[in-house]
Amino acid sequence: MKLLTAWINAFRLRTLPLAAASIIVAGGLAEQYQVFDANIFLLSLLTALLLQILSNLANDYGDALTGADDQRIGPNIGIQSGLISIKAMKNAIIIVTLLCLVSGLSLLTISFDDDLNSWLAFLGLGALAIVAAITYTMGKLPYGYRAMGDIAVFIFFGLLGVLGCFYLQALILPAVLLLPAISLGLLSAAVLNINNMRDVYNDTKSNKITLVVLLGRRNAFKYHLLLIFGAMLCGALYIYQLEDSQVWQYLFLLTMSPLLKSCFQLNDAIKSDIKEGEMFNEQLKNTAVSTFVFSLLFAIVLIA
């Protein structure tokens, strides 16, 4: 039972709603454009969740090898718990990679049928997503240790997640959809930023270079505010450009309240130079949940 619990914790299920957020927004956009396909939506969701689990396992494996988790101030999970061996984690990564391939190939087959060019293009994007999930902290050149995590999260959780899932259903890609895609990318980067603000001292010791390590906590908090306000602005601009948009369609802006509350808490913690992880973990959860709620409300106003 303890081993099963250890594996469930290693999957980091709390991160899955964040992975689902971009697919939910894409589904809302597809319904707005009257091209929604339930099979493509569900397979896109499954693929996104598998990629997130793959990234979580690879992150656990990479941090264990480099020692970045030795002084972890987040919860003890995966290899650090002592219940999962490095070999077992490596095998799990291989299995989940294969599941990603099966799910992704099934998705492309349903979406493109005999459109070979689109099939090959998205096959390349899918392969890139798998490589990105694995090499975040694994391999000889883990980009998560080179301050590139934020841009990767922005691309895969925002641009590729929203635009890719929409295109799979519509086979068109209006430029205006960049606005909601950017919103999800910025909010996802904000979640990662809190994680990195929490771990900045241990990351510095472990030579794990994140954007927070480069900027320092105070400047990283200013960057965090830009991410939050930028996301809300892009979402609002998308609704504003719709024909006959109504005030109630800005319902998703209600998520600004918990997000700002988290910002106040983070600001106080940074001013006090708090090194314990409890407060950061709480705001990490709050921001991730707020991002998921944002995606639900945004999709609802488009569908309604």
Q: What is residue 174's three-state secondary structure?
A: coil
**What φ, ψ does residue 139 adopt, rounded to 5°?**
95, 180
Q: What percent of the chain has pLDDT over 90?
A: 66
Inter-residue contact 303 to 33 (CB < 8 Å) = no
Structure-block tokens of residue 102 = 């099966």
Whether 162 contacts 29, CB under 8 Å:
yes
Kind plus residue range of the DSSP H or E element containing 31: helix 16-32
* Structure confidence at residue 268 as a pLDDT band (50, 70, 90): very high
Residue 76 confidence (pLDDT): 56
For 69, the 3-state DSSP assignment is coil
pLDDT(28) > 70: yes
pLDDT range class, residue 67, cuts 50, 70, 90: low
pLDDT at 21 over 60: yes
In this prediction, residue 304 carries a pLDDT of 82
Query: Which tokens belong to 150?
Result: 């934020």
pLDDT of residue 13: 84
pTM for the full model?
0.92
Which amino acid type is present at position 132? Answer: A
Q: What is the pLDDT of residues 189-236, one digit of tens each?
A: 999 999 999 999 988 888 889 999 999 999 999 999 999 999 999 999
- Which of the four pLDDT bands, split at 50, 70 and 90, describes residue 9? confident
The C-alpha atoms of residue 303 and residue 294 are separated, in whole angstroms, by 14
Report how far residue 57's alpha carbon sits from residue 93's, in angstroms, rounded to the nearest whole number.
6
**Burial class for 159, CB neighbours closer than 10 Å (0-12, 13-18, 19+):** middle
Mean pLDDT of the chain: 90
pLDDT at 68: 54
- Residue 48, Cβ neighbours under 10 Å: how many? 28
Contact 67, 76 (CB under 8 A): no
Q: pLDDT tens digits for 215-224?
A: 999 999 999 9
At a CB cut-off of 8 Å and minimum separation 6, what does 162 contact? 22, 25, 26, 29, 177, 180, 181, 184
Query: Is-contact 78 64, C-beta < 8 A?
Result: yes
* pLDDT at residue number 59: 85
